[in-house]
Structure 1
């Protein structure tokens, strides 16, 4: 595939753009927290920008409404700022307007997306953004994503596909669980619906075979770095992350992030889930061999 000219004049000192296109929720937060304090990296103000997936029609209304809600809330706070102490500034409003614009304008708003990524740029070597939904974009959108900068790198951080889906299901239902409005049986039923439906978002996020195949179809195999989250502290996985970022990151594990709810599915239900992802396990073992963590379920 012929690489098109990048869609934006990036700062001269910027060496690469790194997009984490798929990761468990905990991994997304881990990467964001780890890189946010690194002076070599410009990290997006919003943890998950959701440009490419929303522009493709994936969960569009959800992320558009969230951007609008954030902007309206900030405007409301600023209007009463003379009477109430607040750290919010008009620069924050400008950033939120950019976020709203890029989520509503489709792929033609790629320049707004890049402006948003650079809104806090201070001569860093790397720009980083992580939105797990990017992994389920079609090959055409992925190809455009890979051309956003002349040196774009894509990180696909994976964990056991069944465990990832189970975590996704609990995370999605967490507000209802904490409020006592969603019971254990409802969580298990939602999990079963997800792994029984290859078209569900949860299933597609865990279908690494399909994700990697679409990336290769888009001509991005050489830009892809697959990192196994369970082994992130191992030297081999750290070296992969180093290759993606262009430097050795300092891994810190000072706090737990996105702690899951204490609900356990039955062994029978987990066995059916493993069968649903049998082709994914087979694909990952064939492609990555001994790099696949020993604690994967199949």
Structure 2
């Protein structure tokens, strides 16, 4: 294990984690399970293991029906092993670590991409940080309004009525799960209390798909940059325009998040500010 980096990617939902997972999965110095989102630590903290096991089982059954490509065979194997390793409720960090590392003995980077880890409590984050002698965290942020709108479109599909209902839920506070994913203030406060600042790499979704961002990430992980398919779209949400009135309402509701990110990072990226609607 000496010298090998263990990475946790906690990026917010719809903030580029799937694209980054694909990039690092194909990197010659990295090894990641074919199964993205293991939900190990959040299942233990929130008691949601049964739910995620059912998801994994359904994905396994679907994978068995697909064309047996080399990647599909690996996914099936990883899903089968994960269901055997983790029953959804019993903590066994050693078994979890062996699962993630399996097949990656020569890799410089191994890890777990589970965006939901961004909702974890400080105590759990400290446990994760102590998993090996070299743990690193990557957190991806996207313009809060754009992230929520993409999340809503993913959930609602092309149903206009559902889109409006989800936006209303965010505005009246009932869509807690969607709001939680844009609570950058809470996540970053917990992360910076739980881990050394040098163990955390933050990137904006709006800048992720650039050579400069990849160079920053690879330098952080101690690996050499390699070419990336920046135009490749992963898990694209249904297209729909956000009405300016709703954008202004969401922007106002999420003002504390914009204010925090500006203070924490020193400024807001122009990619965020240029979309803002004047009050």
Fold match by TM threshold 0.5: yes
Q: How far 1:97 moved relative to its partner? A: 3.8
In the TM superposition, what is the alpha-carbon distance from 1:239 to its structure 2 partner? 4.6
Query: Does residue 145 of structure 2 align to residue 162 of structure 1?
Result: yes
- 2:112 is aligned with 1:120: no
Moved more, 189-198 or 263-272: 189-198
CA 1:228–1:73 in structure 2 vs 1: closer, same or farther (change >3 Å)? closer
- CA displacement, residues 13-39 of structure 1 (integer Å, 9 cap, x when unaligned): x52111111244361121122112211
> Does the CA contact (< 8 Å) of 1:157 and 1:226 recur in 2?
yes
Within 5 A, what are the aligned runs for 1:68-79?
A: 68-71=57-60
Residues 136-145 or 108-117, more deviating: 108-117
5 Å matches for 1:210-225? 210-225=186-201
How does 1:1-298 map onto structure 2 within 5 Å?
Answer: 11-12=1-2, 14-25=3-14, 27-57=16-46, 60-71=49-60, 86=68, 95-101=78-84, 103-106=86-89, 108-174=91-157, 177=158, 183-197=159-173, 200-233=176-209, 237-250=213-226, 251-290=228-267, 292-296=268-272, 297-298=275-276
Question: How many pairs were matched up?
Answer: 272
CA distance in 2, matches of 1:32, 1:216: 23
Q: How far did 1:244 drift?
A: 2.8
| Runs of 5+ unmatched residues, structure 2 | none
In the superposition, the TM-score normalised over structure 1's length comes to: 0.80
1:215-235 deviation line (CA, Å, top 9, x unaligned)? 123244332111111012557
CA distance change for structure 1 residues 90 and 237 in 2, over 3 Å: closer, same or farther? closer
RMSD over aligned Cα atoms: 2.9
Within 2, Cα distance between the matches of 1:92 and 1:272? 42
TM-score normalised by L of structure 2: 0.84
Q: 1: distance between equivalents of 2:111 and 2:197? A: 19
SS of structure 2 residue aligned to 1:56:
helix
Q: Is the 8 A contact 2:171 2:253 kept in 1?
A: yes
User: After alignment, is 45-54 or 132-141 more displaced?
Assistant: 45-54
